[in-house]
Structure 1
Amino acid sequence: MGSSKLDQLKFLSVNSFGSVMGISGLSLAGRLSHNLFGTSSLIAELIGLMGIIMFVLLSVFFAIKLLKFPSVVYSEFSSPIGGNFYGAITVAILLLSSVILPYNRILGQSIWIIGTSLTLLLSYFMVSRLFKVKQDPLHAVPAMLIPAVAILNVPITGVAMPFAWIHELNLFCIAVGGVSSLIFLTMIFTRLIHHEPMAAGMNPSLLILIAPFEVGFLAYVSMTKSIDMFASTLFYFGLFLFMVLFFKAVNKSIPFSTAWWAVSFPLAVLSNAASKYAQYVNTWPTKFIAAFILILTTFVIVIIFIRTIKHLISGKLLQG
């Protein structure tokens, strides 16, 4: 890679790791689909492999960016809006631990510990800095939820871990992630309703609003091993928000950028939640919902992936 190509990495946004979140989440949804519908498990595993490769490549490129342009990375991390997307890295690590775990338990557990440690550290930093200076209401955007959603991913991916302390850690993460999500959702909805609209380029991130409900559903069910009224409420309200927000977030009039990957993980986690719900309830309407959302999620991620490759080849993806 030439010097001019390396210089383009200055414009590699951390939200690019949203692609790993979406693809890894789709791989896990494919595993659930194999159990629910008998679809090919090979496809799910190949998608998971793609997620691993993309994470490695993005990590290498982002490490180069950090070495060449440390001030740019620091500015991005310090941003009250952009800094939240660093949670995408920790979520990607947690999801990849679940992708890898069936093949190598030691490696999967090690990756999970790294992801959990980084998630807790990042979430502590992101929440604590809210109390240091007066906050601008316009900074309350859906991306604010990413660190809180990251914590909720810990019990989902860690429920199978064999450690003696795992149960209490999972309870801690559900408490912190759940209450934080509730507080941030209130702030975000207040901003979206009472202030001017977000920039059009940020609209794909609207789907992040469904993530706390569906990730919360998966975390709760992972811990309780059952679906009760509370779990159903989480799942169905997230589904309702999806119906309200989908066409606002996925609109071809929105300029394409890596920000479009913000829709992939919420769709993937909704697909996982729908499949998990259908497994427990086992009725044809819930199975239909699960199948429809899986197909839609796959279609959207494929389209975003193709558009990303096209923009990368044309040189439009990494531009200031």
Structure 2
Amino acid sequence: MAQHIEIIEPDARGRIRKIGFVHFMSISTFAASMGYCGMCFGWRMAHQLWGTPACIGEFFGACALVLYVLIFIRYFHKLRVDIEAVRAEWNNPVKINFFGTFNVATVLLAAVLAPYHHGVASVFWYAGLSIIMVFSWILLKHWLYDRQRIDTVTPAWLLAVLGPITIPIAGNVLQNPGYQDISVFCVAIGLVTGIPIIALIFAHCIFGEALSDAAQPSLMILMAPFGMGYITYSRTFGPDNFTALLINAGIFMFFPVVAKVLHVMRHSPFRMGWWASSFPTMAFANGVIYYSMDHPALWTQVLAGFLLAFGTMLILYLSFKTAWAAAHKTLWKLY
């Protein structure tokens, strides 16, 4: 760990050596579980639409659950042995937003588990619902009470929006008491907060300092509200012209955003922060898959298939790079 320890206070070096890898582990690691949840949903829909093997989606769902449990255990260990590092993440104006990855992963797993056990899935859903709403209120209070700077506005801000609009994904499947009212409430949050935050992110991209190469792939988070927004709104109120506008706006934005992200990935060393691009890519792909169901046409089917394949290849690439680093015990260098 010499590379990192050289820039750490001498008195802390021994403690960090004792703590090990978890000192560097970020809460954003839960984005890996989110990405696999997105692949599970996409391939489940592919099974219904195109007859692909059902085991593909279920395998990715199992991977999502295993990753969630492993990451949870490791980060909980960090919370016990290195509370100051966790507190530093929470107090960082940029990193605090990534605590939303844990919240979203929790509620997404409810949808993964719903076909297997309604009770267990409901526990995940109610837990995710509670922590998502509390986290969103905390962030809103932080934005309103503390003066913000344009350079702290990153795509991760959208996690405060992404959290509530994922709640109806599992809610509409589980149909627990009050799910319809909860879905309407969550859609309202997404509409009211999502539009101004996207505008702020664009302002930062245009007028503020450029994001670091490690953070550039997080621009894909811009795509998540369009895909998740379409699924949530259309499954709550039914598809209409507004949902068509959402998905078409996302289609317009997708190719410039993904071109920028892929350019960074080709010319920069791999970082764990790249996992932030995984779920948003699949979320938009899944939105287009639902759109192809509601508006059947050759071009919607082709685009849905292309985006599903692209998102799957992206996540498998990130998985390979992560597994390679873990096998060579260099994963701690990638945070």
Q: TM-score, normalised by structure 2?
A: 0.92
Letter of the aligned partner of 1:70 in structure 2? Answer: I
SS in 2 for 1:318: helix
Letter of the aligned partner of 2:283 in structure 1? Answer: V
Aligned with residue 88 of structure 1, among 98, 101, 105: 101
2:244 is aligned with 1:242? no
Alpha-carbon distance change, 5 to 222 in structure 1, aligned in 2, over 3 angstroms:
farther
2:248 is aligned with 1:233? no
The question of whether the paired residues in 2 share the 8 Å contact of 1:178 and 1:212 is answered with no
Structure 1 match to 2:128 = 115
CA distance, structure 1, for counterparts of residue 284 and residue 107 of structure 2? 17
Structure 1 match to 2:293 = 279
Alpha-carbon distance change, 6 to 46 in structure 1, aligned in 2, over 3 angstroms:
farther
Aligned length: 317
The question of whether the paired residues in 1 share the 8 Å contact of 2:94 and 2:152 is answered with yes
How large is the Cα RMSD of the aligned pairs?
A: 1.4
Aligned with residue 36 of structure 1, among 20, 45, 49: 49
CA distance, structure 1, for counterparts of residue 116 and residue 80 of structure 2? 33
- Deviation string for 1:172-196 (max 9, x for gaps)? 1111122111121111111111122
Pairing 1:1-320 to 2, within 5 Å after superposition: 6-225=19-238, 227-250=239-262, 251-319=265-333
- Deviation string for 1:44-98 (max 9, x for gaps)? 1011001100000000000001111101101101211111011111111111111
Letter of the aligned partner of 1:245 in structure 2? Answer: V
- Deviation string for 1:268-297 (max 9, x for gaps)? 111211111111112111110111111111
SS in 2 for 1:109: helix
The question of whether the paired residues in 1 share the 8 Å contact of 2:111 and 2:173 is answered with no
Structure 1 match to 2:11 = none
CA distance, structure 2, for counterparts of residue 102 and residue 80 of structure 1? 38
Over the matched positions of the two proteins, sequence identity in percent amounts to 27
The question of whether the paired residues in 1 share the 8 Å contact of 2:226 and 2:287 is answered with no
CA displacement at 1:160 relative to structure 2: 2.5
The question of whether the paired residues in 1 share the 8 Å contact of 2:114 and 2:174 is answered with no
Name structure 2 gaps, 5 residues minimum.
1-15
CA distance, structure 2, for counterparts of residue 115 and residue 281 of structure 1? 32
The question of whether the paired residues in 2 share the 8 Å contact of 1:84 and 1:143 is answered with yes
CA displacement at 1:6 relative to structure 2: 4.5
Letter of the aligned partner of 2:82 in structure 1? Answer: F
Letter of the aligned partner of 1:269 in structure 2? Answer: A
CA displacement at 1:254 relative to structure 2: 2.5
Name structure 1 gaps, 5 residues minimum.
none
The question of whether the paired residues in 2 share the 8 Å contact of 1:26 and 1:44 is answered with yes
SS in 1 for 2:267: coil
Tell me which of the two structures has the higher relative contact order, counting C-alpha pairs closer than 8 angstroms and 6 or more residues apart. Answer: 1
